Structure 1
């Protein structure tokens, strides 16, 4: 990804690092595989030595014995295929193995995710060997803007959702000035959140991160269109706040249960003639408390 597109780059990498399970349906969509969402996915090294020096790939990960290399591209680049073959060669040569007395290098399964445009289908290059044989190098392409909201949910391509707003980028000034167009856009994002509620609400960490990344891309795309930025921010930000509130309530509930258990242990120890020192030791070990915290609970619940 180009260096000036740090917002897209950061979102792409954050999802791969924090929510790697979301890339699995994308991988299935591109390569026609059928991996389950919980398939073990190993993050592999993204720094590789090339002719021009060290290059950092957007993502390189492994599933079983197969390596997968993804690049995220926000704009058209006629030389993208050259970069891809360079990255793949660097990855392959670092993982070369000797089998039956012969060195073998295996290229990873690679793909490019295009955030803008819908025309690209694949990237191709021909490698001509000294004996005249031609090796055809081909990389499949996934164009985010080809997928409707319904297709994204139907195929579980939630990884694409933060970038979904980019299809409205060309009309952003028009949307910002038209209440009708803005209302239609906000209704669509209300619908997106309703869908996410149904499938992710019990996965608070993933849900919350995904919403934050949706807002991050939206804020970037509409940084000068205040009406749109605020409208989407209110919808998505409100849901993030709701999730944080739920998390705080759950934490309070757990804390209340913990305090109740400590109180019961203190009262039981006193009732059956236990010592304060043995009680303190038990509280420290069971609840991972400091000595001062344990003593504070004893002072509060031990009736003199």
Structure 2
């Protein structure tokens, strides 16, 4: 298996199955302002060269503009020529006839470098000399993942860069295995990434995206540190095994737990009251009244806590009798 196959696979998975993730990248690179839910049409992603080789790329249509994004895991010095070849083929494919004249428009293109060196330019350039001697500069931006900090990634919602973030550390894997402090710093950084990702995706309402991105992050990490079991296992434990719970799901769970606690509390109060009023009739009436009152009282308290943005105290309220009574007094219930 070629080393870059896994990187290609992860990139294409996001481009084809999580296409919406590319919108913030396009906005950042090309200074556009497409909304997150803009309609994206995926164009045919391969064509055959004269020599028979099949070339694959990632081309997207947004409105009337074509975007071409290449993912590159090495600093290939021939990339500029390859890019203009891809883009020329696209321009020919979508050439528009205007009378006896054709208009060819190149796509808006960039190269996403997962790795780069000091010699990797910020732009890939080709001087194109036409038969009349006129020269035009073909120029596409080179986007280097290494230049994006985790804070910048989340600030700009560039979540599709997260699986490749670990690659900046690939040459330090053995060093981290041997140095507990460096290893812990890496784990702390990925704990922050996991936490920020939870917040970002909770706000977007796409719960399934959390597990999908975690899977891709772990897959790249496992590959990068395939010979460093300690590091690979550490990141896997930080990132793996977490299933995102949406705020609506959390509230429903807490309400269900509160209701169960209220019913139990009502039974307890009703039984005590019933025994005081009489073993037979008193117990039945007391249990019913106590359950209703206890459940209603606790439900009101929980709603008040949610409205006051104190949802993090609900769990303790339903399990800690002393705190529950204190809250009843605080809210005069």
TM-score by length of 1: 0.77
Deviation for aligned residue 1:4: 4.1
Provide the residue aligned with 1:208 in structure 2. 211
Contact 1:215–1:237 (CA under 8 A) maintained in structure 2 = yes
Unaligned runs of 5+ in 1: 254-304
Report the structure number with the largest CA radius of gyration. Answer: 2
Q: Deviations 1:225-245 (Å, cap 9, x if unpaired)?
A: 000100011111121xx34x9
Provide the residue aligned with 1:291 in structure 2. none
Unaligned runs of 5+ in 2: 254-333
Question: Which contiguous aligned blocks of 4+ residues in structure 1 show a shift greater than 6 angstroms?
Answer: none
Larger relative contact order, structure 1 or 2 (CA cutoff 8 Å, min sep 6): 1
Deviation for aligned residue 1:36: 1.0
Provide the residue aligned with 1:299 in structure 2. none
Q: Deviations 1:118-177 (Å, cap 9, x if unpaired)?
A: 642110001111110001111111100001110111111111000000010111110111
Provide the residue aligned with 1:274 in structure 2. none
Provide the residue aligned with 2:138 in structure 1. 137
- Report the Cα distance in structure 2 between the residues aligned to 1:4 and 1:221, rounded to whole angstroms: 10
- Report the Cα distance in structure 2 between the residues aligned to 1:178 and 1:150, rounded to whole angstroms: 25
Contact 1:69–1:110 (CA under 8 A) maintained in structure 2 = yes
- Report the Cα distance in structure 1 between the residues aligned to 2:98 and 2:2, rounded to whole angstroms: 39
Provide the residue aligned with 1:115 in structure 2. 114
- Report the Cα distance in structure 2 between the residues aligned to 1:110 and 1:177, rounded to whole angstroms: 42
Query: SS at the partner of 1:238?
Result: coil
Deviation for aligned residue 1:3: 5.4
Provide the residue aligned with 1:221 in structure 2. 224
Task: Find out whether 1:175 has 2:182 as its counterpart.
Answer: no
Deviation for aligned residue 1:180: 1.0
Deviation for aligned residue 1:49: 2.9
TM-score by length of 2: 0.70
Task: Find out whether 1:187 has 2:188 as its counterpart.
Answer: yes
- Report the Cα distance in structure 2 between the residues aligned to 1:78 and 1:32, rounded to whole angstroms: 26
The 5 A counterparts of 1:1-304 are 4-117=3-116, 119-201=120-202, 202-239=205-242, 242-243=243-244
Contact 2:27–2:33 (CA under 8 A) maintained in structure 1 = yes
- Report the Cα distance in structure 1 between the residues aligned to 2:52 and 2:17, rounded to whole angstroms: 28
- Report the Cα distance in structure 2 between the residues aligned to 1:199 and 1:39, rounded to whole angstroms: 19
Q: CA RMSD in A?
A: 2.0
Deviation for aligned residue 1:54: 4.5
Query: SS at the partner of 2:132?
Result: coil
Paired residues, number: 245
- Report the Cα distance in structure 1 between the residues aligned to 2:106 and 2:54, rounded to whole angstroms: 17
Provide the residue aligned with 1:256 in structure 2. none
Q: Deviations 1:231-271 (Å, cap 9, x if unpaired)?
A: 011111121xx34x99xx99xx9xxxxxxxxxxxxxxxxxx
